[in-house]
Amino acid sequence: MLLSAGTPASAMRLSVAGAVLLAAAAYYVYLPLPSGVSEPWKLMLLDALFRSFIQASDVVQKLGFCHSIHMLNRVVSWVEMIEARSCPAVHVTDSMLGGVPTRIFQPKAGRKLKRGVIYFHGGGWALASGKMRSYDLLCRKMAEDLDAVIMSVDYRLAPEAVFPSQYHDALAASRAFLSLEVLQRHSIDPERVCVSGDSAGGNLAAAVAQQLGSDDSTTVKFKAQALIYPVLQALDFYTPSYQQNQAMPFLYRPYMARFWLQYLGADSSLVPVLLANNHSSLDQPDISSATRSKLNWTALLPAERREHFRPVVKARGSPGTVRNVPGLMDVRAAPLLAEQEVLGKTPKAYVVTCEFDVLRDDGLMYARRLRDAGVDVTNDHHEDGFHGCMVFANLPMMSSVGQRSKDSYIRWLDQNL
């Protein structure tokens, strides 16, 4: 009698507890995303997972076990890292390129002379690897579809390595890639080589393209640069895309400020300074009007991208920030700040931008400045895209915009390389 009388009550308590847990999970997962973004529920689920990892990693760091970045990379390694495995169409090996670890994808058939692409992965200069499953699959498909040799570079990461270490790795690997020895060893046509990367990797690719484009001692030049939602400046955190997409997965506005400070070897306590644009206030003597003009989005962006937004330029800010963090003004870290003459010596460009991405306007402004310098530019803008979408071009979390962006990227390379 007692058991039978108690069973409904126990079931009720379990049902209520389950409902509460389900509601809590739904509350944590749900984000009020714009209606135009591709497959919002997939994005919410992935973002909830990503936020959970970041929050857990921050707790681990506060408890003194290890740096949060180390914890995140351990999770990434456990979930995503795969060995170099060849397949019937592509030979895959891990090697060194200019002293930098690199995964090489070499087609087994096709033309005798191949096209060549050197690729730099994203991850805020601190996370990820070219050996991740998503990048491995991308480079494998590029090698097969383009009949091209793809070299995916594992440059050093923060917090152990800070600027300019990542840049130096990217430059060293690129110089080696363009050397006659490497080109001949891998049967790469020196007239058909490209530098590419996404997000922080797009930043490195742009910086390398600028340096080698202006280097008269380099006999082999890149024919193309392909930049996928690149990060290109850290002086204005109030561009229209930063304002519009500040709470959009996967790159929230505070995350980007944090990545920048880690990359530049600066104290994370400066995050609020960057987010308020106090580091680029008018009383900063190290920022000239000429520098400000290079990221003046009121002049560089199309009218439809800026009509609902106003610039945030402080008259007074945090004195000495730029002087104490000189990387903020270094064109090797912020390629958008390059001189017009330097931009004009870079190769034809493909710039991917996504509507729902804080970095959208970095890419749009860079495309405009490249065009003004006489460079042939294709801006591939995805109206339903979000930051990092291309790495979600495969199962299990495949997105339609991820597939489209990947296919468009490979198609442009096929037609222009």
Contacts by 48-55, CB closer than 8 A, 24 or more apart: 50/249, 50/250, 54/255
Distance CA 318, CA 321 (A): 6
- Integer CA distances (angstroms), 160 to 85, 166, 208, in order: 29, 11, 22
Cα-flanking dihedrals φ and ψ of residue 343, to 5°?
-60, -40
Residue 410: strand, helix, or coil: helix
Q: Please give the pLDDT value at position 5.
A: 46
pLDDT in tens, 199-236: 999 999 999 999 999 999 999 999 999 999 999 999 99
Q: Please give the pLDDT value at position 17.
A: 54
Q: Please give the pLDDT value at position 11.
A: 61
Q: Please give the pLDDT value at position 30.
A: 66
Extract the tokens encoding 368: 């405009």
Q: Please give the pLDDT value at position 18.
A: 54
Architecture of the 77-234+328-416 domain: 3-Layer(aba) Sandwich (3.40)
Distance CA 149, CA 300 (A): 36
Q: Please give the pLDDT value at position 143.
A: 98
Distance CA 122, CA 198 (A): 5
- Is the CB of residue 105 less than 8 Å from the CB of residue 94? no
Distance CA 84, CA 43 (A): 29
Q: Please give the pLDDT value at position 52.
A: 86
The one-digit pLDDT tens for each residue of the chain (417 residues) are 444 445 666 665 655 455 444 444 554 566 778 889 998 888 888 888 888 888 889 998 999 989 999 998 888 888 889 999 999 999 999 999 999 999 999 999 988 999 999 999 999 999 999 999 999 999 999 999 999 999 999 999 999 999 999 999 999 999 999 999 999 999 999 999 999 999 999 999 999 999 999 999 999 999 999 999 999 999 999 999 999 999 998 899 999 999 999 999 999 999 999 999 999 999 999 999 999 999 999 999 999 999 899 999 999 999 889 999 999 999 999 999 999 999 999 999 999 999 999 999 999 999 999 999 999 999 999 999 999 999 888 877 788 999 999 999 999 999 999
Instruction: Count the Cβ atoms, other than its own, within 10 Å of residue 55.
Output: 11
Report the predicted TM-score, pTM, of the whole model to 2 decimal places. Answer: 0.93
Q: Please give the pLDDT value at position 28.
A: 57
- Alpha carbon 359 to its chain centroid, in Å, reads 9
Specify the DSSP element, H or E, that contains 85.
none
Instruction: Count the Cβ atoms, other than its own, within 10 Å of residue 416.
Output: 17
Pairing of the two strands 148-153 and 100-107: antiparallel
> Given the structure tokens 């001189």, which residue do they identify?
339
Q: Please give the pLDDT value at position 358.
A: 98
Per-residue burial over 116-150, b = 16 or more CB atoms within 10 Å of its CB, e = otherwise: bbbbbbbbbbbbbbbbbebbbbbbbbbbbebbbbb
Report the DSSP beta bridge partners of residue 225.
195, 349
Which residues are marked as active site? 199, 357, 387
Q: Please give the pLDDT value at position 130.
A: 96
